[in-house]
Structure 1
Amino acid sequence: MKRTLKVIIISILLFFLTSQVAYCYHKTIKFQVDKQYPPFSYVINGRVYGFSGDLANLIFEPDKYFLSVSSDTWENVYKRLVSGEIDITGPIVILEERKKDVYFTDPIFTRHVGIYTRKDFNKVITVNNLASFKIGVMKSDYTETLLKERLKIKNYLTFQTIEDEFVALLEGKVDAVIISQEIANYFLVKNNYADQVEIKLKDIFILESGFGISKRRPELVGYVNARLKELIKNGIFDQLYYNYFSTYSSYYYEKKNREVVFSILYILFIIIFASSITIFVMRGINKKLQQGKEAYEKYAELLASNANVIVLTLNLKGEIIFFNRFAEEVTGYKKEEVVGKRWVDLFVPEFRREDAEKLFSEIAEKKVLNNYESEIITKNGDTCWIIWNNVVVENSYLNEPLIISTGLDITPIKKNQRLLEESYEELEETNQELVNTLEILNKQTELLKEEEERYKFIVENISDCIWEFDVAEKRIEFYGNLKDYFETDKINPKIDYYAWLELYHPDDIKAVMEKIQRAFELRDEKIEYEARIKDKNGNYKWVSVHIKVFYDNRGKPEKLIGINIDYSAKKEYEDRIKYLAYYDDLTNLPNRKLFENKLSELIKKAAQTGKIGAVILIDIDNFKDINDLYGHEVGDECLRTISQKIAEYLKGLEVQNYFSRVGGDEFAIILNGLEKKDFVIEVCTEIQKIFENEIFLEKIERGLYTTISMGISFYPDDGRDTKEILRNVDMALSLAKENGKNDFQIFMPFLLLKNLNKIEIEKNLRKAIENDEFVLYYQPVVNLENMEIHSVEALIRWFLPHKGMVSPLEFIPVAEESGLIVRIGEMVIEKALKDLKDWERKGINDIHIAINLSARQFKTKYFENTVAKLLEKYSVDPVKVSFEITETGAVENFDVSLKILGFLCQMGIKFLIDDFGTGYSSLIYLRKLPISGVKIDKSFISELMFSKESRAIVEGIILMAHKLGLKVVAEGIENNKQLEILKEIGCDFGQGYLFSKPVPKEEVEKFLLQKKVLI
């Protein structure tokens, strides 16, 4: 039992340790096994268990490798191993036929192959007459190879699993099965087949087994062999093998039977020898035989009491019945203090008790809850973290069902994890300190050899490259990580200064030298810069260089000590974020933000030079019909094709031009430095000619005809700034569309009258506020782990009397510009809190509500007081409320944002960054904001299936958010494939039309009552 317990604990620790370091960038090992081949491998609730997985976890050290474990049918597993899709499987039988496909490790143990029949099968079976019977074998298993290649038997039945083989044997579909005796013993004992099945022929083949390794990973053979030798040497392998195979073997039961017989003979001897106490002894023996159950229970209690894990027994009321010794050590309570009392009342923190009661109810209903982490409070008030496994036990010996819980104390792991997170934030400071430490260590040469070796170890194993430059000798000595720059076994760590300079990118050398020279002139002691340095493969990587300069008594530089910190990945990520902030990911054209910046710059120059320019706003006519008829993927291809054709035409123009995508199906062109305005008409005419021919789309393998409408505005004649020009060109575009589309119009002053529409909307908005014409629709947000509704997002809708619903895209901009958004926003918050309270009265207690905030509303005076009063008015728990605000809105006027967020977060309200990734803001600011999550914009989600870049960005956002302790919500999930990808990469929550479109309060209540949406 101790050996078994030791292996179990080692396996559990390995599982959690590997899961804790999974974020580190170690080499990934893809390990796959047969999903139904117990005790080697089997799957329960989607998790892989068995001897193979436990042994693999012991072999691959977590500080070197990340082990990715999966399962499938054996046929698929072997195909993937041969093709290189996975790296390793096993242990499997070593066959000459397989050696041409895969590598094998040294043999681990021997497998014996036998032939099994039903006990009532009376015919004689030999190897020679085996072909005359109906034989069953596992598909693609080594036993099938033996049957075909060695026994030359071609007619047989194959089965996907061992279980299927035995079922077919018992049902008479086959006469015999050929199978590994080790596997057969397991099934005979586990499934109580021993009375129905027997072995006819033993050891017809005796074969060695080892791990199978892909020929793409030959380096793993030596590593696995070495690790196996270690595990065998220290006895861990034997303990693991004993745990899985000894109790399911016939040898084990024969040994037990011998022990029983010996015990009985010994008792008889004692009876004869001590005749004076025969009656007493016989009574005692009879009593023990009759009370076998009690003896077993005492034995079980002894094991449980001395186990190095928490073992509890509770009734369905949650009252403690059994409390073992290890539980006493962990909690500080004695058994007598807790028996009869409720576990939740004693050990669960008060703020967790409601959740704990729900979990306990699930366990009591036989919903097994395993590998569940929770915190408990000990007798002295300390907090411990425990991983629980639970099972409900019912049988005729018990008066009532009992819950048996085992718990593993992972408090040290949690503490180490917390320390790791804290040390990660201090990494930058640590690197700088290492530079200073290096100088100190160089000066302290009189220290003991032990101190010198410690210094050498630190420097040689640091992850960055440290260097020391002697100005007089112009020689550089290197320490730390050199492998990225040099073939370290072929180069002296001291190299010539000019050879080092040659590693810099030619475009960076001048700037670096000027920065260093300027520091020398000013006698600066610190120099910092970023540059590109060539690695040993000839590729340039970005490094952040930090230098400390030492001067002599005359003020001349004497020595430089520097550290090169590789931040290529960070640089690429920042560049990608900046690119997404200013460029459209679909067409790779500048987006609206960059377009407006460029237009503003050109308008200012035009006012100074007197030259004119023009803005052409292009809208694809009836583009919505393309999306509706063919889907968004075809619509996206159409946008890309149109943008490419227009861009190709613009390349041939001699006039300076800029082309951008400024909206869904809108593009804009700037023509700068025009000699005459008529040229713009020529350009628009030529662009229209592009659309006289059909546009071929590969996704539907046919061409489509489409037309465009264009508006034209000139600067500086039609406006003094970007806002006026864009307003006027938009009016011209509207006129072109009103004229039947496929047209272009030049802005004229009379178009300003059309601006009256906006004024009309503003007037109606004011009436709508007075008459309370706004309603809220709700869209569910789903927990992607259990597919239950976690929260709902409140979305405003306006039903204008006699006109119907007004699009939020139409009235929200007017409300923002007029300031009415503040009052409308308050109405939204109040309606949402009122609805939330109504749901609580109807028994819907565990739902959260998300409310969108505009930047203008968020920054208004007394906003915090308004929210606090509304929460008090409707008696709503702030913990159930979250506000969504854009990242740009959050970091504008950062100090004010921080104050408001801090105040509301103290109340319990959560904040999420909405449309994350579409704007651009400093990640430093975002890290400082007390937010609890981010919402990934639907533009990224729509690209997931066919854009590696979008998937990489989404994965990066999720990884970054989880590192910061934030939750992630994906917006715009429209199909199951997107949902599968998001689950795979660890997204927490999702919303979109796949689950439900925004619906009225009454309709969303139906979802909330059933806690799930149907997809």
Structure 2
Amino acid sequence: MNLGKEIYGKIQGRKIEDFLEKIANNINDYVIVVWAGDGTILEFREIGDKILGYLPEQVEGKKWIDVFIDEKEKEEMEWVYRKLLNNEQVRYYVNPVKDVNGIKKIFLWYNSRIESSEDDEKVFISIGFSLDEIERLNKKIQRYEREFSKINEQSESLKFKISKQDLVLKQKDEIIKDYKSKIEFLAFFDELTKLPNKNSLIRWLNLRVSNVEKGNIYLIFLELRNLEKLNVMYGYDIVDELIVQISRKLEDILSKEDKLFKIGFDRFAIICKIESISEYIENLLAKLAVVYNINGNLIRVNYNIGATLIDDTNDSTTSILRKCDLALIKSKEKGLNEYEIFKPSLEVQTLKEGIIEKELRNGMDLNEFILLYQPIINLRNRQIYGLEVLLRWHYLKSVYISPLEFIPIAEKCGLIVDLGKIVLKQSVESAKVFNSYFNEEFVISVNISPRQFVDKEFITSIIEILENEKIKNLKLQFEITEKVAIENINYTIEVINQLKNYGITFALDDFGVDYSSLNYLRKLPIEAVKIDKSFVQEIENEETYFVVETIIRLCKKLGLKIVGEGVETENQYKILNQLGCDYVQGYFISKPLSFEEILIKLQNKEIFRGTDMVK
């Protein structure tokens, strides 16, 4: 190697091989890099296994930083260069390097400077040890230490049985000891941001809880939302850099007294002493609401925050972390960029939800879930157009529990999909009976939950139930909310079109509450729109009247049927009729009735309010 030989010729009184033997003869696998002051690699050797895989000719004559160092680590490596060139000691440091396949590997580097006596040329030698190899050796040393402690004065005869290499390992473990300090750093600090990690937070809390100061000391969890999606959109390197920038932003925002931790892939923790925690958090969220420029990609991040007061010496670290987690979970239920401060009622609510979840599972096994049916009236002919199915929990066969109590919990714990199957199966079975009492227009209307709608087995489970029951002329109508419909509009359109083949139509429920966009209303292949009861119950108000009138006109133009929900008075009934609404339902017509109650009315040909006759 010509470039290396020119400089080696100027180095007097030292052989690199001898130098290396003194430093590294206790490690089987390592990398040797000899480089000039400008970063040019003069000589490259791999001893033992080819842990990086480069041939000398692939790297010699090139700059170290261009061959081994990833773009985002170059700044740190240049800092190391400057230190070494300025005669400052950087004897050991840990950093990732790329192997011949571009895969990052973590190395512990030992650095030493070699100077020429003639013209003060600077040459450096760096020896890199794979952390995996060092860990193996560290364990080996510990094993020998245990063995040596058991050997008595007669152990001299046994020393010959121990290899020379192992004895040298025992004598020269300074590199390993130094590595232990690096391991401790990695154990208590986040490798990406260099911030204290979750272990550091727990250690701090353990000390703090045992000797808690008086004052408003809070633990805050800050979660970055949807980082997984950003990974897919931009790649891991971009998201890693984004996290680093956010950590720097947080360091700029927080005071010197505040403590910042990186405790997970998408989560930071903050410990602060503050009088008004709400004001503190709102200020934090406001300052974080910026657009980050990562290599030309403009990225905005959403957050959620949970916080708890650290004020009880009897409170364990586990309890404090749990309280903060509960507050964070509650803030995520509110939506993006929201926060929640822990209060005891959150624990009560969590306990309550846990009990309800357990009883839900028992109730499903014991067939405690039943259906009620609310009539939907056709305002043109004043006959029953259909029945909306409403799920009720007949707990212990004695009391009815409102869906407002158990549906959100069923959504959370994933039971809503199984409940949906129960509803559909019972609805189809009841339709066998009801069909004989009504004309061809009659429909059974079933609410579909958001979780159920996006379930990968949604379509197949419905088809399986329909094919098993084999009901002729069955008309099912599924009700989905606006939010569910447009969250993935292409998926929604695909589902609706597939289920059309099985006689299933769709209605948009609670229309007017969320988006009410003419564009998506035009795109969706739905059959009906259900005006939310909040509009119906305020229809006597002039502004609300105008809104309802506009909705009805719009739907008429698009060829959609219109259902007015929540009709409770005769006047509401009459106004909707005058505005041209097609169908109505609500307590003015009838409260939800059991299967048996509906059947008795049909058999006795009883007239529902708002109808002339059943059939």
**TM-score band w.r.t. shorter chain:** 0.3 to 0.5
Kindly indicate whether structure 1 or structure 2 has the higher relative contact order, using CA contacts under 8 Å at least 6 residues apart. Answer: 2
Normalised to the residue count of structure 2, the TM-score between the two structures is: 0.45
Normalised to the residue count of structure 1, the TM-score between the two structures is: 0.28
